[in-house]
Amino acid sequence: MWFSKPRSIPETEVPFFDWTSEDHSVGVSVFDKDHQRLAALMSQIHTTLQAKHDRDLAKKLMETLIHETQAHFDHEESVMMNVDYYEREAHAAEHAALIQQAKAMLQKVHGGGVSALALPNFLKTWLIAHIQTMDRKYSACMRRNGLR
């Protein structure tokens, strides 16, 4: 064989969510900063479970994540209102659904019926898709209104 097969990387070593401008920027710096902070919290939850096996700390971090995500959503919704963003109702409805999903997941974790991998797996898709689709859609409207 002329080349060696790439070593498969164990799940614990895979970077959880590397925020990059190219993949995740929504073109409004205050919201990019929020998203980076939320991404860092999600990565911390992943590390706490996978490397430290500390479920109690992971639960506390998950509570913080839900709290900070709600504050971020409130901020986005107030700016969407100010700039009269056409899709703000659908956007706010998705925010509410995401918070409900996260709370339901936290309940399951508290109940003990969730594996250490299930929470990071949930978080991998939970908010990122929303940032890359719904949040990116508001970019043009906000930038037209002077936000950067």
Instruction: Summarize as ranges the residues that interact with Fe ion (CB under 5 A).
Output: 76, 135
49 vs 142, beta carbon nearer Fe ion: 142
Contact 127, 69 (CB under 8 A): yes
Residue 49 or 98: which CB sits closer to Fe ion? 98
Question: Quick one: CA torsion of 21, 27, 31, 32, rounded to 10 degrees?
Answer: 10
CB of 106 to Fe ion, least distance (A): 19
Which of left, alpha, beta for 53 (phi over 0: left; psi -120 to 50: alpha)?
left
| Distances 31 to 47, 50, 118 between C-alpha atoms, Å | 24, 28, 27
Q: Report the residue closest to Fe ion, judged by CB.
A: 135
Taking the complex as a whole, the smallest distance from the CB of residue 64 to Fe ion amounts, in Å, to: 17
Shortest distance in whole angstroms from residue 108 CB to Fe ion:
24
CA-based torsion, 125, 25, 33, 28: positive or negative = negative
The least CB distance from residue 114 to Fe ion, in Å, is 25
Q: Maximum CA pair distance of the chain?
A: 61
